[in-house]
Amino acid sequence: MNIALRVIVTAGKAALFSSSLLVLFLLYVKRIYNEWSMVLILSLSITFVVALGMIILTILPFYLIERSGINGDAFFKKYFPFYAIVFFSSCLFVVISSQFNTITTAIFTIAYFTAMMSWIWMFKPKR
């Protein structure tokens, strides 16, 4: 699969994953029952664009730097730990500086898990 198609498929998976987590959070905290389908549809379109942009800005440069024939498993093992540490620290910094605001904590937790899953969907080889 070429890289452009892989990025689009991964952004689609990330949008579905993060939108589902967001709707579950809103159902749990806000107790929205009537509008959950509208929230899901709206968040799917927004998170697809955001996920596509974030994959292009944060994950794709690693791939373009290391196009020298390294296989997906070795690439994943080489770069994923550094990305995870930096992204976790960034999300944690924002959560702490917001004084553990519930909405901010939920959004950045969802963003962190979505970014980690995007790496797995992009580069982890199928077994």
The dihedrals phi and psi of 84, each to the nearest 5 degrees, come to: -65, -40
Spans of all domains in the chain: 3-123
pLDDT at 69: 66
pLDDT digits (tens, 9 = 90+) for 37-94: 777 778 788 888 888 888 888 888 877 776 666 666 777 788 888 989 999 999 999 9
Q: 15, exposed or middle or buried, with CB in 10 Å at 0-12, 13-18, 19+? A: buried
| Token representation of residue 10 | 């991964």
Predicted structure pTM score: 0.82
pLDDT at 44: 82
